Amino acid sequence: MDNLDNTFGQQTVSQSEREKKIRRVFQLVAPRYDLMNDFMSFGSHRFWKYLFVNKISFKTDDIIVDLAGGTGDIARRLVRKGAKVIVVDPGIEMMQEGKKSNTLQVANVAAIGEKLPFADASIDKLTISFGIRNMTSMSDALKEIYRVLKPGGEYYCLEFSRPVMPIRPFYNLYNQYVIPRLGALVAGQPEAYQYLIESIKRFPDQQEMKGLIEDAGFSIVTYSNVFFGIACIHIGIK
């Protein structure tokens, strides 16, 4: 396998090559992706997602797209609350893993975030959890999200961010040294998890991300930190 942490920089590979490598990463980690999330976050990602889903208000006839929905953990939480959800993800392997343990009715569509298979102004809400940083072009994906949302439609994003200063050095050390070793031990893919850590390091901080969402056209954008800023919930309204 390629040395992912050296080849994923946007300055050294083309967008098409970056997309292929990202897809390769998620093919490799799909069988143990949810298990690794538990190990890496000591289970706290489940609470973060609980907080995230509880921020999403919807009517029973709303159409919700969960972009980069992977194994469908966010979609299942929404369906249990009565929502109609479509999981969109380019990783067929990830969606297949989700189906193995999913008895709920969740539609799955294979597509990339930069080219969504929906008409203009046809979606009521769009959610994305720990996935926007894996887009080949984040700005293109945000513009595409804006395109498919109805006027008044809402964009909800849960993503890693920049933690507050007292814990930032410890968090950075944990990411750099512990997570790749966990990836090797549990998933057998240290290079893949090195890429995931690199993608977190490159991700914009809270204010920068707010600006990117506004640049895509959203007029009302807010964010709230989760777990001292290790993660952040961004909300944009069209």
Which is nearest to 144 in space by CA: 111, 97, 178, 182? 111
Instruction: Please give the pLDDT value at position 6.
Output: 35
* Residue 235 clears pLDDT 90, i.e. is over it: yes
> Was domain 4-237 assigned CATH 3.30.390.30?
no
Among 112-126, 166-180, 197-211, the range with the most confident prediction by mean pLDDT is 112-126
Question: Given this model, what pLDDT does residue 5 score?
Answer: 35
Report the range of poorest mean pLDDT among 19-33, 54-68, 85-99, 124-138: 19-33
- Residue 3 predicted with pLDDT over 60: no
- The pLDDT score that the predictor gives to residue 12 is 46
Domain ranges (residues) in the chain: 4-237
Average pLDDT (207-213) is: 98
Please name which of 171, 51, 29, 198 lies closest in space to residue 37, comparing C-alpha atoms. 29
User: What tokens appear for 59 in the block?
Assistant: 């009517």
pTM attached to this predicted model: 0.85
58 compared with 181, residue with greater pLDDT: 58
Q: Is the pLDDT higher at 9 or at 84?
A: 84
Residues β-bridged to residue 220: 237
Q: How far is CA 180 from CA 18, 127, 161, 176, 198, in A?
A: 20, 28, 19, 7, 11
